[in-house]
Amino acid sequence: MQPGEEIENLLADLEEAIEQSKSAPLGGGQKKVVDSQELYAILDEIRDRFPEEFQAARRILREQNEILAHAQQQADSIIADAQQQAMILASDQEVVRLAQSQAQDIRDAAQQYERDTRYNAEEYAEDVLTHLEDNLKSIVSQVTRTRQTITENVSEGPGVGASQNQGW
């Protein structure tokens, strides 16, 4: 399941509960009589899911750091190997020059690998965090609309739905 998908499903349930509720008399079809217990239960589930979303974001950042640390370890290992090989071959000038050239190539390749890995990890984290941010914006928007609908239902004042609203 994608990050935020559970919350999106819960918000869809919330919206469906509002849509399926009966219209209030004299409300012109815009006012609804809702089951507040059902809406509160869905809102509680949404609140429970938020920590999971934040944990997922933290996990992604931790994975990014692990990838970067692993790339740095590999680069260091490659560089150390290249340096060791260069020292062993130091007896002959041509061999030394060749080893230094190869060591530099390996060093360049390792540094490029590290840059590429860092870029890919950061890009991945950015994509996930952007998706999470979009989901959270959508959730806030949906919660605001739901609260607005509830507020409109409550502000209808005394009437047919008033006896049901006394439970709030």
Q: Is residue 163 part of a domain?
A: no
Q: Is residue 164 part of a domain?
A: no
Rounded distance between C-alpha atoms, residue 87 and residue 13, angstroms: 68
Q: Is residue 70 part of a domain?
A: yes
Q: Which two tokens stand for residue 11?
A: 């918000």
Q: Are strands 22-23 and 32-33 parallel, antiparallel or unpaired?
A: antiparallel
Q: How many domains does the chain have?
A: 1
- Classify residue 35 by its DSSP letter: -
Structural domain range at position 135: 5-156
Q: Is residue 127 part of a domain?
A: yes
Q: Which amino acid is at 118?
A: R
Residue among 75, 70, 67, 71 at smallest CA distance from 108 = 75
pLDDT beyond 50 at 108: yes
Q: Is residue 167 part of a domain?
A: no
Q: Is residue 74 part of a domain?
A: yes
Cβ–Cβ under 8 Å, residues 67 and 21: no
Q: Is residue 95 part of a domain?
A: yes
Q: Is residue 33 part of a domain?
A: yes
3-class SS of residue 69: helix
The beta strand positions in the chain, using DSSP E, are 22-23, 32-33
Question: The pTM is what?
Answer: 0.36
Quick one: angle between helices 93-154 and 5-20, nearest 10? Answer: 20
Chain segment 47-105, per-residue pLDDT in tens: 877 777 777 778 888 888 888 888 899 989 999 988 887 777 666 677 678 788 988 99
Mean pLDDT across the chain? 81
